[in-house]
Amino acid sequence: MPVEILVLKDVVKTFGERRVLDGVSLTVGEGEHLSLIGESTSGKSVLFKVIVGLIRPDDGEVLVFGQDMARIGENEKRRVLKDVEMQFQSGALFDSMTVKENLGFVLDEAGGRSRSEKEKIIEDLLRGVNLWAAADKYPYELSGGMQKRAAVARALCTFPRLALFDEPAAGLDPVTSVRIIQMLGSLLAEHHMTVLAATTSVHLAKKFSDRFVLLQEGRVHADGLWSDLLAQGDDYTRKFLSRDLAV
């Protein structure tokens, strides 16, 4: 049995009168690749922020490497998060740093690598997302799609045990989207990372993983292998999984 990297137990989060997460339970094993799918209002982004401790749940448990993120102290949380990276939808790059410096900052914070090793990682990743020519540009000089690619590279540069990607290919052209998914796949295989990718695109999710977790109105509506859900899921599940397969 694989080590449990992430365990969510009946997680609830409410904003005002809206219950965004309504009892989410989920277990992810070490080295697993999981696609978290659902409509844009299904709670995917909030769930990711709960996992990394940016949002505190109202109820339930969020266990990352066995540590409950809602109950541990700040020092322990920082220790846990050294092995976690997240790519935000907005990119969340440091505006005062170039693309190359953004990746370098994360590598410096992680420590343990020589300057030449860090330089090679940065170059390899930026070439992988077709941004090496923009390495010395600042985020404000980049298009939205380029910022997204830079954010994906930054989230990968420490090869974390757990990586979360929130709509990693949204707003990108089809060729670049596939290229990023392929890069993720090769790095995952090489470094045995555990990765969750949240997306509204079933087409891209299918290229990334076999296991799908479908959120609907803050609840896990379906969880299983692609083939099983398509064959045995209810009408909503089958319709969602089939909606853009012609892409």
Domains of the chain: 1-83+164-172+193-247 (3.40.50.300)
User: Cα–chain-centroid distance for residue 38?
Assistant: 14
- Long-range (24+ apart) CB contacts under 8 A made by 14-18 are 14/58
Beta strands in 30-133 (DSSP E): 33-37, 59-64, 67-68, 84-87
The phi and psi torsions of 202 (rounded to 5 degrees) equal -65, -35
| Strand, coil or helix: 199 | strand
Q: What is the pLDDT of residue 247?
A: 41
SS3 143: coil
> Which of the residues in the chain have pLDDT under 70?
1, 89-91, 170-171, 244-247
pLDDT at 178: 75
pLDDT at 112: 86
DSSP letter assigned to residue 132: G
Q: What is the pLDDT of residue 121?
A: 93
